[in-house]
Amino acid sequence: MFDLLKGDKVLWGIVTLLAIFSFLPVFSASSNLVYVVGTGTPWGYLMKHFVILVIGFVLMYSIHKIPFHYFKGISILMLPVVLLLLIYTASQGTVIDGANASRWVKIPIIGLSFQTSTLAAVVLMIFTANHLSKPNLRQLKFSHSLLQLWLPVFAVVLLIFPSNLSTAALLFLMVVLLAFVAHYPLKYLLSICGMGLAAVLLFFVLVKAFPGAFPNRVDTWLKRIENFSSGKSDDGNYQVARAKTAIVSGKIFGLGAGKSRMKNFLPQSSSDFIYAIIVEEFGLIGGVGLITLYLLLLFRIVVIAHKAQNLFGKLTVIGLGIPIILQAFINIGVALQVLPVTGQNLPMISSGGTSAWMTCIAMGIILSVSARKESSPIGQEISENLNNPIQILSETH
């Protein structure tokens, strides 16, 4: 079996451990949906989580067999599709309590919901890595880069921003980080950051000037920041207060698997606040152990990026791997009240199909890079000398 798994074996092991461990808190926390909300059964949610992970690992295994330089063209082809999906998602006009909640689209055939921003993040990271890995990047005119790279980036980020601030901010931050790592001219990068800040300020000004023009989540964001800074335990901070109670109850060794009490009172206990349930049931040891796994995952991502044979591989691993780690620690930080509530789930642990599948796809691409799929001479020459077909043909023959 190990001969069939290419790429970094330690990365395979860490992802598998996270997936196996996820069954315990998901099965336990699902009782909140069964006995409080009144939908489904615990075994039904467990089976659904099992099917999601099986599909995710099939995707990861299939994708890690693909030579990673193929994803350059795939990202270019997928970007217009992603933009259309984001436009369709935003145009649905889903509103909850007067706020924009257009994050998902329904798949009519199988009846599942799909969060388009997660797919957009994966595609945009690869697209950005492809552009930044081009030779003579520092000699390119800013106007060319503005049209070829930053216009698609701003389009994706701005379409996500009104309904999901944290995802949009994380996505833009990662693009800027990739540009910095690729030695993109600093003066241009500062200009881009200034343009992004100006766009955000303009959005807030328009929302305050015309509050009834379109649904938005600005009031929700401001209330979360206010609750976080004040530390109040009112209705707006209900989730964090219950999460802290669960964490305190866990102590050193926890209450035991499935014995969480706060799962019946904590909203989103199987997704956004699942870390609090983990600490309550497995204690400080379980919480620190899970953090250690994510740190090991970060270490392997850095190692794979360092060993990648070209700049595109390095940037792809960084662009796909680092957001997974950041998302994990944002989720943990929210549960510990280190950060305001953001709605980011715990990768490979929380219930939910879209996030798990996109994480598996990202891991599959990282494993493809670690397997050095471009090591064959002809494939490497075609990848590196794509602009000189005559030389390729002559050397091949």
pTM metric for this prediction: 0.85
Regarding beta strands 99-100 and 112-115, do their DSSP bridges make them parallel or antiparallel, or are they unpaired?
Answer: unpaired
In this predicted structure, what is the pLDDT of residue 111?
A: 57
96: part of which helix (H) or strand (E)? Answer: strand 95-96
In this predicted structure, what is the pLDDT of residue 218?
A: 67
In this predicted structure, what is the pLDDT of residue 241?
A: 82
Regarding beta strands 112-115 and 104-107, do their DSSP bridges make them parallel or antiparallel, or are they unpaired?
Answer: antiparallel
> CA–CA separation, 241 vs 205, rounded Å?
32
In this predicted structure, what is the pLDDT of residue 103?
A: 72
How does DSSP assign 328-362, residue by residue?
Answer: HHHHHHHHTTSS-------TTTSS-HHHHHHHHHH
Cβ distance 270 to 33 under 8 Å?
A: yes
Cα 10 to chain center, whole Å?
A: 21
Cα 234 to chain center, whole Å?
A: 30
pLDDT in tens, 17-42: 999 999 998 888 887 777 666 666 77
> CA–CA separation, 186 vs 352, rounded Å?
39
> CA–CA separation, 332 vs 346, rounded Å?
8
pLDDT in tens, 244-292: 888 998 889 989 888 888 887 877 777 788 899 999 999 999 999 999 9
Geometric angle at alpha carbon 241, from 236 and 245, rounded to 5°: 165
298: part of which helix (H) or strand (E)? Answer: helix 274-307
> CA–CA separation, 66 vs 89, rounded Å?
30
> CA–CA separation, 316 vs 181, rounded Å?
11
Give mean pLDDT in consecutive 10-residue pieces for the chain, a chain of 397 residues.
80 94 88 67 84 93 92 93 89 54 65 81 94 78 85 92 86 93 89 90 79 64 70 62 87 88 80 89 94 96 92 94 94 88 86 87 94 51 41 38
Domain map of the chain by residue range?
9-396
